[in-house]
Amino acid sequence: MYKFFFRFVVATITILTANLLTNAISAYLVSYKNHFRPVVFTFLGMGIIIVIFYPLFMKLEDLLKYLSTKVVKSGNSAAGKYLGLFLTFLLALLVLFYFYAKMWYHIDFLKVLFNGTIRSYM
C-alpha cells in the first residue's frame, strides 16, 4: 500500500513541476511574439520549442523523479513513514500551488494568506 502512495506522490509532484517549468518557458518565449511577423514567429517558436523541450523532456523526467524521491524520503525520515509522506506531499503541493497561482493569476498566495484577504479569491 505504501509503495502505491509513494509512487503516486512522486508522479504527481513530477508532473506538476514539469508542467510548471514548461509553461514558464513557453510564456517567456511567447512574450517575444510581437517582435516578429506571425508566420516568422510561428516557425521560429516551433523550432526553439523543439530545440529547448526535446532535451529538457528527456532529462527533466529523470531529474524530477530523482529529486521528488529524495524529498519524499527525507520527509519520511523526519516524520515517520506515512506521516512524512503525507506532510511532504502537502508541502510540495502548497509550493506548487503558490507558483501556479502566481503564473496563472499573478496572485502572491502568501501575501493574500497573511493579509487575510483569501476569502475574496475563493
pLDDT digits (tens, 9 = 90+) for 65-93: 777 777 777 766 666 777 877 888 888 88
Q: pLDDT value at position 25?
A: 82
Owning domain of residue 23? 2-121
pLDDT digits (tens, 9 = 90+) for 6-63: 778 877 887 888 788 888 888 888 888 888 888 888 888 888 878 877 777 777 667 7
Number of compact structural domains in the chain:
1
Q: pLDDT value at position 77?
A: 66
**pTM as predicted:** 0.69
List b or e across 47-82, with b for residues whose CB sees 16 or more CB atoms inside 10 angstroms.
eeeeeeeeebeeebeeebbeebbebbeebbeeeeee
